[in-house]
Chains A and B, each alone.
Chain A
Amino acid sequence: MERSTARKGIFYGWFVLAAGFFVLFMATGARNGFGVFIVPLTEEFGWSRGALSFAIAVGWGVNGLSQPFIGRLYDRFGGRAVISISLLILGVSTILLNRTTNLWFLIAVYGLIMSTASSGASLVTIHAVLAKWFYRRRGLVISISTAGGAAGSMIMAPFTTYMILWAGWRVSWVVLGGFILVLALPLAFFFIRDNPSKMGETPDGDDRPRDQAPGVTYDYPKAPLEREKWQESFSTPPIWQMTAAYFICGVTTAIISAHYVPFAIDRGASPEMAAFAFGLMTGLNVVGVITVGILSDIFGRKYLLGIIYATRGLAYAMLILAPGMIGIWGFAVIAGFSWVATASLTSTLTADIYGLRNLGTLGGVSTLSHQVGGALSVLMGGVLYDVFGSYDVPFSIAGSLLVFASIFAFSIQEKQYSSRYQTGLARPASASAGDSD
């Protein structure tokens, strides 16, 4: 497509991106901030950390398991409906948490309802929406939206901490839920559209191709491995390569999320220093994912994905082999840049290779593999620590797996299968699925 030279005003897709950024900011921030409620809940009800961790684990598992189903709903009904309804349920369930009086209520509302609803307002659905609005700048845009989740966690967690100090945990749940209902939901409903044609636009705001008349729904070129049914995608190699690599991504991020701070303390870091290193790593997320997004639109996706996995492997090696705080800080800086960049690259590559028809479902399946890997690795970290008395063995296992993740990524035949490298792609006979506005 030719870049538009006659455009007046801002391309509407940027508003879709802004809405997606804020949706992830709020949804991820509200859900990931559950940890700050652990102490006040423990003090009020006398629950153990293990019991509350069980609620977190249920939520994590439900969130992962629901992703493919939510992705399927997205493919069928579109992003605006799925994201808006999910935000409605997420906001109401968050407010409902202020009525918590027993652990099973918490598990039911947080672990089941809230965690399922947050699947609908997640990277899977937001990335799928943005993949329709952007083609030339797909990598950058999807990365910016991913940064929204990281930024949300950074802002919402301290906000919630101080809110609890000021007004108590019950009021804090109400405020968080209120923000979702009053701020995120209207923004999503007002701005998110499933197809640029609904707003008289084309992807990236480019000029409409000469063979397509204005006023008609834009026909996306069919991606090389785009299939009628999502299951048929699994008869091709790339989805297996990406899903296997993403599983390892889950292994290597979750184990750090759960065990990095105690590992650093074991290495001689003060709790403050360990927490700061982890916070630095989280902050570098935002810089890393946007940088990778810019580069991926220029250089392609698979090499960057492979390099990121390899870089994370080097960070793990540094963590385990370098002495004292050198390893701790080295890991925080190196791995920080790679932390969420894999999510945006995997989503973008999936869209490039498998098209938009079943992108929600395929993204959901990949995310499920990521969450399963994460759950297994957290358990592995705890169990092996108890057996060996240190984190060296579980971290070594996790780090070693990144060699395979890197190989899987490098071996994807991107030039053969990605629509970015194809010319003369056939256009589908009917409009894309999910155009329900």
Chain B
Amino acid sequence: MLPLLAGLAHHSEPGDPELMAWIKDRIDALVGLEAEAIVIVLGAIIVMIPLAIMALYVVQRALQRRA
């Protein structure tokens, strides 16, 4: 089992701890915001995507009905 785990012990996907620590340091150096501010900004981006899709659909349906 140990060689199996040893091979998987370092996992450099986007969620890799060392990569994320580096990205965090870059973001901190770039914007200098507190963690909660970054969460709010990124969270707003995430929330806005589906809301924008829904809004676009509703608006274009309304325009179609008017036409």
Contact = CB atoms under 8 A, between A and B. Distances in A.
Contacts of A36: 15, 17, 20
Contact of A257 (B4, B11, B67): B11
B15 to A, nearest CB: 3
Given A36-B20, A187-B50, A258 B15 contact: no
A49 B23 contact: no
Given A158-B38, A271-B18, A53 B8 contact: yes
| Most-contacted residue by chain B among A18, A37, A260 (CB, 10 A) | A18
Contact of B9 (A18, A34, A382): A382
A163 B67 CA distance: 46
User: Interface size class for chain A?
Assistant: 35 or more
A278 interface: yes
Contacts of A25: 49
A200 interface: no
Interface residues of B, number: 47
Given A22-B50, A36-B15, A278-B12, A382 B7 contact: yes
A275 B18 contact: yes
Interface string B22-50: 11111100000011101100110111011
Interface string A8-22: 111000010011001
A183 interface: yes
B23 A158 contact: yes
A141 to B, nearest CB: 15
Contacts, number: 172
A262 B6 CA distance: 13
Given A162-B35, A386-B6, A157 B11 contact: no
A165 interface: yes
B17 A187 contact: no
A162 B22 contact: no
Interface in A135-166: 153-163, 165-166
Q: Which 8 pairs of residues, A with B, have the shortest CB-CB distance?
A: A382-B7, A35-B15, A50-B5, A275-B22, A53-B8, A159-B42, A166-B35, A153-B14
Interface of B: 2-27, 34-36, 38-39, 42-43, 45-47, 49-50, 53-54, 56-57, 60-61, 63-64, 67
Given A26-B46, A258-B13, 7 more contacts: A22-B53, A32-B14, A35-B11, A165-B35, A257-B12, A262-B12, A383-B3
